[in-house]
Chains A and B, each alone.
Chain A
Amino acid sequence: MTNLINILLVEDDEVDIMNVQRAFRKNKISNPLYVVNNGLEALDALLGRQPGAEIPSPGIILLDINMPKMGGIEFLVELRKQPALKSISVFVMTTSNEESDKVAAYNLNVAGYILKPLSFEGFANAVATLSAYWHLCEMPVRMPNDQHV
């Protein structure tokens, strides 16, 4: 189990967090899942600005769009500005079906934009597909961001 990449979930809704955790359990995805509640917390954790809240650098970020303090798109803008973090794959998982959000997200090089299905069944399937996808993808042994840390 050496190739288990860290996953960071940026999500403010408690039930949505439970939803992801449940989907992970159901699909027997054992990648370590770290959770933060908004874009600002995510940046703090990634950049180690908050002592005690550091997390190992993730290979994948699951990002919600609508969050307090700092939303998903704003977070993406900040993330892509950081040389150490700009290579992280980001999957947007949101309820926002707004065209403007999709355009903005893809302009910031997201790996995918996923609309959360209403039913848990649908969501679990989506997470399973994602899991299969990132298992298929080869990740570099040393992430570019490691060189800077």
Chain B
Amino acid sequence: MTISIRTKIAIAQMILIVLVSVFIYSYYPDQQKQLALRAIDGKIKGITNMFSIGVGIGMGETDFVAVTEALNWANSDSAVVYISVRSEGNHSIALFNPEGISIPEQVQEATKGNQLVEQDQIIYYKTDIMYQQLPFGSLVIGYSLKPLYANLTELKKTTLYFCMSLLICGVLISLVVAHKITQNITKLDNAVKAISTGAENVRVQVNSNDEIEALGRAFNQMLDNLTASKTALVAYSAQLKKQNEELNQFSYVVSHDLKAPLRAIFKLSEWLEEDLGDNLDEEPKKHLQTLRSRVFRMEGLINGLLEYSKIGKQTFHLEKTDTRQMIMEIIELLNPSHCTQIMVAPNLPLFKTKKLLLNQVFSNLISNAIKYNDKNIPVITIAVEERENVYEFSVADNGMGIEPKYHEKVFTIFQTLAARDKVESTGVGLSIAKKCVEDVGGTIRVESELGKGARFIFTWPKKIEAIRNNFNVHKLAS
């Protein structure tokens, strides 16, 4: 479930406002009550003191005027609803009880000391009347808290209204603020969505003068950079495409234009030999033959170069490949001498891969193993080891081997370790094998020592991506 930022902000604000409201509502009236009670307490004591003094003097001097004054004075506070003065012998001397209140028993029965009892929203205070350090009687004053409670109820109501309006205002403000924030975020979001669907020249307009505006600016900056790098990339890929086309044309030109004069040389030498016939001495005749053999070699080199440049340009389809059967066919095609022993592992995989590329690799490795072998009984072993994501194939021979210092060099195009006059070779076989292996993301290496045979090991992925973007090959006939 997704909760929008707006809702989250509103909820958070609301919780905050509710907390504040509850606090105000529960704390403020209560505090007011406490303050009022304290004030009342003081007031009652004041009245009581005044009264007891007045009554004490009045009683002591039998001056009822003072008692009456004291009563009148106490009576002037409308909250005083009960006054009773009793002698030591519990005779009622004066009683002010317009509402006919019956005072609580515990006040009635209390004998000594000051008593403060609250009942039915009236505070009763009982105290001894002293006159010249002599107990004279007792005084009970009832002070009504009704006005106070009425005030408090009023206060609570006002507080409640205040809190409710605070709540409503808070919610509205929080909604507006949340809307302001999310509006800008929505702008960013829309821009991002537009970009991701491929729209161009999209920019964000946020003028909120806060972090979101900064984010918007950063976002625009990023888009600018993106556009710039995209433009650069397009230009680069166009350039690459052009270069690729040029390279294609180059290899085509090489194939035709380099070969044509070669062929002419070859033919002319043949015609020379044919036309001169018996007039040709043995040595010039041999020279003409050498000339032709060099032409053959050059043609081989050109073909190798072409073959090498073709790998990676062509799209090779995925085919179901029975590796063992494929290797058998390669061996048959290479037609090794009958004394050659070739051991092909029985566990070679059957899998879907770029068969033509794998075929090229095995063809080159096996033909090398046959070609560069000085033993009477050449032994070639083809094996495979299964790794996690790749097959690790190996082609091993018991031939003349390769010195470790040449292990890198043998994979370079046109590198041969034997003079071409001894072993006719173009020096492209291993470089083609390497290019094929690397085209599918594998690696190739050789383990060998001079005179101890060689073992070529290469990895080949078990799975190859079916789709591969190749530049269209445009070719111009020269």
Contacts and interface: CB of A to CB of B under 8 A. Distances in A.
A22 interface: yes
Contacts of A19: 267
Contacts, number: 55
A72 B477 contact: yes
A96 interface: yes
B263 A100 contact: no
B477 A73 contact: yes
Given A22-B271, A118-B296, A118-B299, A65 B263 contact: no
A66 to B, nearest CB: 5
Interface residues of B, number: 21
Contacts of A73: 477
A18 B263 CA distance: 12
A112 B299 CA distance: 24
A71 B478 contact: yes
A78 interface: no
Contact of A15 (B267, B299, B477): B267
A91 to B, nearest CB: 17
Contacts of B256: 66, 95-96
Most interface-central of A13, A14, A98, A121 (chain B CB within 10 A): A98
A118 B252 CA distance: 18
A110 to B, nearest CB: 15
Contact of B266 (A13, A72, A101, A118): A118
Interface of B is mostly: helix
A118 B263 contact: yes
A68 B295 CA distance: 25
A127 to B, nearest CB: 13
A74 interface: yes
A95 B271 CA distance: 20
B101 to A, nearest CB: 121
Interface string A82-120: 000000000000011110110000000000000010111
Interface of A: 13-16, 18-19, 22, 65-68, 71-74, 95-98, 100-101, 116, 118-121
Interface of B: 252, 255-257, 259-260, 263-264, 266-268, 270-271, 274, 295-296, 299, 473, 475, 477-478
